[in-house]
């Protein structure tokens, strides 16, 4: 089966085989992923210790519940401002959030 190849201007060229090789995670990408997961675990711990649901915390922070889920699972990059808001809504500081993580 022939793959469609992305054209630099958004067009696809049918009938050509892809020669792209998968990109391996670099050490810095692995470290970033580990930090994201650790931050997410800490946010979950703090949220649960205050008896808040994911939906409630997301609402307090002004973000969608699914986005909060991504943050808690460490699945996405998150803006520093968003982390500050989350920490503040959980009565913590940003330095407490990052302590012993990064």
3-state secondary structure of 97: helix
Q: How far apart are the first and last CA of the chain?
A: 45
* Cα distance between residue 47 and residue 39, in whole Å: 12
- Which of 43, 33, 45 has its CA nearest to residue 72? 43
Q: Dump pLDDT digits (tens) for 5-35.
A: 544 444 544 555 545 544 556 778 889 999 9
Percentage, residues of the chain above pLDDT 90: 66
- 102 confidence band (pLDDT: 50, 70, 90): confident
**What local confidence, expressed as pLDDT, does residue 53 receive?**
97
- For residue 13, the cross-strand partners are 5
């Amino acid at each position: 089966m022939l793959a469609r190849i992305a054209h630099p201007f958004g067009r696809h060229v049918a009938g050509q085989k892809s020669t792209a090789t998968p990109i391996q995670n670099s050490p810095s990408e692995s470290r970033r992923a580990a930090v994201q997961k650790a931050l997410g675990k800490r946010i979950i711990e703090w949220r649960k210790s205050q008896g808040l649901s994911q939906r409630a915390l997301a609402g307090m922070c002004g973000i969608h519940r699914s986005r909060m889920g991504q943050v808690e699972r460490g699945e996405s990059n998150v803006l520093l401002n968003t982390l500050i808001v989350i920490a503040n809504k959980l009565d913590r500081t940003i330095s407490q959030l990052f302590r012993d993580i990064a």
